[in-house]
A and B are shown apart, each in its own frame.
Chain A
């Protein structure tokens, strides 16, 4: 039996004038997962998020959020926390007052605000005006605001923008903790290394089209590792490429190394073939392609 879905969209499209911002998108996000939503700038990530949150209307297609149609956002938004396109608050109000405005608006418990400020590390700056906050603090306040409804689904657009490495790690841990507690996290980012570290599910967009939707592990497993071989004599680089190709593997020279596309178990045979040809290897390292490598390979960018 398939797991229940936090999000599913079918044939979802948005057209602005002649430009398709999102074209016939189809994807699903299982409940309780951390789903990375990745793609270059202008690929349609924010447009998709806006449609899921009822801010803009789809041109065609539809979808469901927490089991409810996206045409009726009032049915699911009380259970959704969101930060879209970075934090946006009233500069003349304090962090605490800004959260109070949103808590009152959503009918949430105002007493939970202090706890949320503690969670995002802003407990001592809650009484400072928002306009005095650094970019990282603004981002943290945005995340606190998204947690106000104690959400079943958390939609975050570039949540680690402006955060220092320690802050990024804190947010990563927080998202993992929320997911462990049953919250589905749908997080968009252009930092693919970040997404790779936290997400167990992925939706990849390029030029308004979904190019992958599924488990992160499945995507990465499909990618053959690269064997990086460094000969002690750089004159042997071409010979190494020929050996790999003669054995049916794609190979190329990259920065005084030979990159051979192939399964890790080819390493031993490649080493032996090089040795038999009188080539001494200084190093031989199988490398699993990162999400970033995979993304670029899939998109051809």
Chain B
């Protein structure tokens, strides 16, 4: 498994992937964090689904990490795309047969790839955290948001807690992408189905049907990133979303193990 991990890292370190990921993370975090502060006085709201987050909330110790936690859904989509593409392209490039000749244990291939991609996700989320915190300070100055409480240990704890939650959510989205990659064996199909499911199907249904979001893994992962909300607890979100993912992962792993590699 260690060999698979090392091999996968060589692929993940390629400049085209690293640079496009940095660009995507910068765009997502920049957009969400800047809108959070710049629209602080907007009657249409500055948070997800029109929620208003005022100066008094942003000035709290937790305020430093709100932009970061609000970025989690989109960061998750970036992770979903990367994990799905990295998995499914082995089929489209025909490289899976090379991998399996060099490492016949299919489970080692799968787990090694997953661990390497998790490391990639950690780097991605770390970059997002740094960017979001830096931008929060910049835009707090622009919009007269007090940053006194952001220097306290409570703020540091909140940042650490948010980092862990966003990381868990991002990795969850990534695993979802990997599952789709293994299932559809085509990056385009896996990514489009993943994005359509998360952004459109789950998003729309959750907006119109009360409490249906507690059955959707994507919505639950978003709630994990926020540390839970007033309707759905953190523990429920975490356990249910990961139960979905683990069950689906086991099914596709068995398929991957049994399926002939004939392309």
Residue numbers of A with Cβ under 8 A of B are 50, 53-57, 73-74, 77, 80, 82, 84-86, 88-93, 97, 100-102, 104-107, 145, 148
Contacts and interface: CB of A to CB of B under 8 A. Distances in A.
B7 A54 contact: no
B6 interface: yes
Interface of B: 3-4, 6-7, 10-11, 14, 16-17, 89, 93-95, 97-105, 260-262
A93 B7 CA distance: 12
A247 to B, nearest CB: 54
B261 A55 contact: yes
Given A88-B97, A105-B3, A50 B11 contact: no
Contacts of A86: 94
B3 to A, nearest CB: 5
Given A85-B94, A93-B11, A97-B10, A105 B261 contact: no
A91 B93 contact: yes
B97 A80 contact: no
Nearest to A57: B260
Contacts of B100: 53-55
A148 B99 CA distance: 13
B260 A97 contact: no
Contacts of A101: 7, 10-11
A77 B97 contact: no
A104 B104 contact: no
Contact of B3 (A84, A97, A104): A104
Given A90-B93, A90-B95, A105-B103, A55 B262 contact: yes
Nearest to A149: B102
Given A55-B262, A57-B260, A105-B7, A93 B14 contact: yes
B262 A92 contact: no
A107 B104 CA distance: 13
Nearest to B9: A104
Contacts of A106: 3, 102-103
Given A105-B99, A106-B3, A73 B14 contact: no
Nearest to B103: A105
19 contacts: A50-B260, A54-B100, A54-B101, A55-B260, A56-B262, A57-B260, A73-B104, A89-B95, A89-B98, A92-B17, A97-B10, A97-B14, A104-B3, A104-B6, A104-B7, A105-B4, A105-B102, A106-B3, A145-B98
Contacts of B94: 85-86, 88
B98 A56 contact: no
B252 to A, nearest CB: 18
